[in-house]
């Protein structure tokens, strides 16, 4: 694998792994504050980020070794409104800056597995940003958000509210979805 794409996969692996853990903590915090649905949304999206991290890790499987990994990451536990704001900014950074650049590099280096892994991730992050924005609007109005069952594609991390059909991102059947129900 070409060095630049390998470095980008490591960075994305680091970012997705941390996002997943951060969302679990922020989800518990939301539940503590009485926002059960926001907590459930954080848990569902944590699962999607975990799928992204796993896919990136598998794609760089042929590149062993130890590396320092730099990746964009928020730290700290704030109020749920603040945590949601940080989550939105993180997702938008991935959608608008990080993944387009990583994908373009992987494409120019003809690293097709990495291109797919970056595509899977970036497809989900725009949805995440919108869902977190809805959550933040509700919380800032003093209410929990309305949220149906959230379904996460185990293969690619596609995140869908309501009943899923075949995954539009990766083509996986509905049996591959994990449900986060209220």
125 binds Fe ion (CB under 5 A): yes
156 binds Fe ion (CB under 5 A): yes
Q: Find the angle CA(71)-CA(95)-CA(81) to the nearest 5 degrees.
A: 80
Task: CB nearer to Fe ion: give 2 or 116.
Answer: 116
- Token code pair at residue 161: 């509210």
153 binds Fe ion (CB under 5 A): yes
Smallest distance, Fe ion to C-beta of residue 166, A = 9
Q: Is 34 left (phi over 0), alpha (psi -120 to 50) or beta?
A: left
Nearest to 5 by CA among 110, 99, 117, 105: 105
Smallest distance, Fe ion to C-beta of residue 26, A = 13
Task: CB nearer to Fe ion: give 59 or 125.
Answer: 125
The binder of Fe ion chosen from 46, 51, 88, 155 (CB under 5 A): 155
Q: Find the angle CA(63)-CA(118)-CA(37) to the nearest 5 degrees.
A: 120
Per the CB < 8 A criterion, the answer to whether 155 and 79 are in contact is no
Smallest distance, Fe ion to C-beta of residue 48, A = 6
Task: CB nearer to Fe ion: give 125 or 144.
Answer: 125
Residue 22 DSSP label = H
List interacting residues with Fe ion (CB under 5 A). 91, 125, 128, 153, 155-156, 158, 167, 169-170, 172
């Amino acid at each position: 694998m070409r060095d630049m794409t390998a470095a980008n996969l490591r960075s994305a692996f680091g970012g997705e792994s941390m996002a997943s853990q951060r969302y679990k903590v922020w989800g518990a915090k939301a539940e503590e504050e009485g926002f059960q649905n926001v907590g459930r949304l954080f848990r569902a999206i944590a699962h999607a980020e975990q799928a992204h991290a796993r896919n990136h890790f598998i794609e760089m499987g042929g590149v062993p070794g130890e590396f320092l990994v730099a990746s964009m990451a928020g730290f700290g536990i704030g109020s749920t409104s603040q945590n949601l704001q940080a989550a939105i900014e993180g997702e938008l950074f991935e959608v608008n800056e990080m993944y387009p650049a990583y994908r373009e590099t992987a494409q120019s280096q003809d690293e097709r597995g990495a291109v797919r892994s970056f595509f899977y991730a970036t497809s989900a992050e725009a949805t995440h940003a919108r869902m977190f924005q809805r959550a933040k609007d509700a919380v800032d109005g003093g209410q929990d958000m309305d949220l149906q069952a959230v379904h996460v594609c185990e293969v690619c991390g596609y995140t869908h509210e309501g009943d899923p059909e075949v995954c539009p991102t990766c083509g996986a059947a509905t049996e591959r979805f994990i449900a986060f129900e209220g």
